Structure 1
Amino acid sequence: MEVFIVAYLSLFITGFIAATLFPASSELLLLTLLQQSYQPLLLWLAATTGNTLGSCVNWWLGIQLRRFQHKSWFPVSEKQLARAERLFLRYGRWSLLLSWLPVVGDPLTMVAGVLKVPFPIFLLLVTLGKGLRYGILILLAMSFF
């Protein structure tokens, strides 16, 4: 029983880390656990919840970002920040449905914080996008296993 809990918890943690700005991928672990006959619904729940909560950290960091914008160590230039804001505003809040995408998804969730997207809307759109991604991945994998 403990092995099962560790597996789901590992997927949750991996999903969480993968959604932050740290490079990681939860898909490989998800597929491995799925192939080992773990419960698809619980795998979906662990991955989606961890990944969504990791994006919530990015949103919170985005909210805090403006406070440090004028520090010399700040890693993002005014120009980069303005460009990210323009792109986000161009496509709107609905772009958060694509927060699962590699490379652009994590910064997208941070920019949502910078632009103060209301948290309930952020949470709904990000959860939908990430949940759909993991759901489709599981369904596709189950058709091959």
Structure 2
Amino acid sequence: MAELIEWGYIGVFIASFLAATVLPFSSEVVLTGVLFAGADYWQCMVAATLGNFLGGMSCYYLGMLGKMEWIEKYLKLDIKKLEKVQNWIKGKGSVMAFFVFLPGIGDFIAVALGFLRGNVWIVAISMFLGKAIRYWVWMEFVYKVQEFI
């Protein structure tokens, strides 16, 4: 992670992208290190948000590779109930992408939204907003902590 901190904004982008995939990675450590090194607030915000957003959308598209037949065959779920859920996800359910920033479950939400064919535009906008707010809150926290150090 130290190397990514040395890479500055590119390191923040890469760390944020990796953190949004199914790989266990913490972008906050890299972002905090880069901020402590004196990097620009808005450039860090853009790098972190874009990297995390693109990583999240890669999970969404990974989910789109799945097939309903697999769920029916391997998990023995009723296809009619699954189609009801899919129809809900295609509409209002796509805003759940806002919560993709949540640790632990966010990646699974993104993959599920892709698998259930959530509306790509609603997913993208909701996901982007959630991730931007997440990094804004984190960066404000880091700046408050810096005042005490």
Return the TM-score normalized by structure 2: 0.78
**Shift of residue 67, structure 1, vs aligned partner:** 7.5
- What is the match of residue 54 of structure 1? 55
Aligned sequence identity (%): 26
Higher relative contact order (CA 8 A, sep 6+): 1
Larger Rg: 2
Q: Against the structure 1 CA distance between its residues 68 and 36, is the aligned structure 2 distance closer, same or farther, given a 3 Å change threshold? A: farther
What does 1:15-94 correspond to in 2, within 5 Å? Answer: 15-66=16-67, 69=70, 77-78=75-76, 92-94=93-95
- What is the match of residue 97 of structure 2? 96
Q: Against the structure 1 CA distance between its residues 127 and 78, is the aligned structure 2 distance closer, same or farther, given a 3 Å change threshold? A: farther
RMSD: 2.7
**Shift of residue 68, structure 1, vs aligned partner:** 8.2
Secondary structure at the counterpart of residue 92 of structure 1: helix
Return the TM-score normalized by structure 1: 0.80
Unaligned runs of 5+ in 2: none
Unaligned runs of 5+ in 1: none
2:135 maps to 1:116: no
Number of residue-to-residue matches in the alignment: 134
> Matches of 1:78 and 1:11 in 2, distance apart?
42
